[in-house]
Amino acid sequence: MLNGTTTEIAERKALRINPAKTCQPIGAMYAALGIHGCMPHSHGSQGCCSYHRSHLTRHFKEPVMATTSSFTEGASVFGGLANLTQALRNIFTIYDPEIVAVHTTCLSEVIGDDIPTIIRKAREEGCIPDGKLVIHANTPSFVGSHVYGFANMTTAMVNYLSEKTGTVLNQVNVIPGFVEPADMREIKRIAAAMGVEIVMFPDTSNVLDGPLTGQYKMYPEGGATVAQIKSAGDSIATVALGHFASHVAAATLESKCKVPAAFLELPIGVSATDRFVDAIRGYAGVEVPAAIELERGRLVDLMSDLHQYFHGKRVAVSGDPDQVIALTQFLLELEMKPVMCITGSPGNAFEKRMHELLDSVVPAAKIKQNADLFELHQWMKNEPVDLLITNTYGKHIARAENVPFVRFGFPILDRAGHRYYPTIGYAGATRLIDQMLNALLDHRDRTCSEEWFELVQ
């Protein structure tokens, strides 16, 4: 794994080695966990659901509950109608959720199961009790990535739940994108500090980072309530964070309920956070409080104090497209050089936006969507970098090339603090600076000659 990567690069069209993504149902399951009282349901084989649950559990270090249609050979041939109908009956009888969020898998997509028809028949047969809800999203694993699954399930929330009553509510919708519970909590903290009422969906804060109370709850206190998501159709506006994960849901809400939308990028770093703060300030008609301005000032001061450590450093970045785009902008603010930027997700919007950001300042940067970590490793072997930023799967590359490494994005399987510390907002940028600087200086201390092993750096 560590020494098998060659420097000679061969074009590959039908093969990915160590892909920088995972499949749609994982993203859909994560989004569904952001609805209060929701049971995510995997319409496919038991093995699919087990893998998706275990991957999320390993990242968040929390038990992830989800149910499955448990396809066998019979369902694979004749379809999953009977399996899903029985599953819904069992789920509401045994687990009593407020809502079930069904997502498909490879198998049910290949079969072509008509999920809305199955849900309608299940309700007619009494499998879905009165007052309970079932929504669904099509999430075939063989196209897109986990980011697309998140986007599809979030859009399903709008299609099934959001409605316009004609009464405009003094609130702003925020669709946060595929980010950590800590990031969602930070978005709510910033809005609260500004005195802005928001409806954020999905919202996994207090779901996958909840406290240990000694009493297990299958449905934790957190998550956006069904009533809140319904009320999103009466909001002043929607702020969608991230082109790939959030913009489709915001556009759907704008079309369905005539709620105007601001299509932003993830607020990582100074300028992107400025745009987010300004958007909710403008829609809510409030002023930015001194506390938020002080946070921004402290971040800018830290960037100025540590400029000499970051200036000109060559960085390789991999991850979800929305996060790579936002992180690249922050690296440019630090006057670092993002020379290699990839995402495993497809979508030409990634390469287009990255070229807009980098062509004038880092013209030789390598940019690629639908790429994999093997190719990134080959690039790094030919053109060494000073820092690697990606998820846990980058640790093999960092070890092989002896490169400082910062874990960022999804999944992070070998560390725990990421679900508690945001990377979004001014405070999140401060955290990222700390992580990057520590990685760079720790590497210097490990590799420098004796005479340069200084107490003061």
Structure-block tokens of residue 382: 């030919």
**CB distance 299 to 372 below 8 Å:** no
Q: Which of 38, 48, 100, 106 is catalytic?
A: 106
CB-count burial class (<10 Å; 0-12, 13-18, 19+) for 126: exposed
312: alpha, beta or left? (left if phi > 0; alpha if psi -120 to 50)? left
Bridge partners, 199 (sequence order): 173
Torsion of CA 318, 345, 375, 379, to 10 degrees: -40
Active site residue 257: no
Element (H, E) at 111: helix 106-111
Residue 217 neighbours by CB distance under 10 Å:
9
Active site annotation includes 110: yes
Residue listed under structure tokens 């649950």: 53
According to DSSP, the β-strands at 366-368 and 337-342 are parallel
Half-sphere exposure in the Cβ direction for 255 (13 Å, CA): 9
CB 334 within 8 A of CB 307: yes
Residue in the structure block whose two tokens are 């630090």: 334
CA–chain centroid gap for 267, Å, is: 13
Active-site residues, by number, are 106, 110
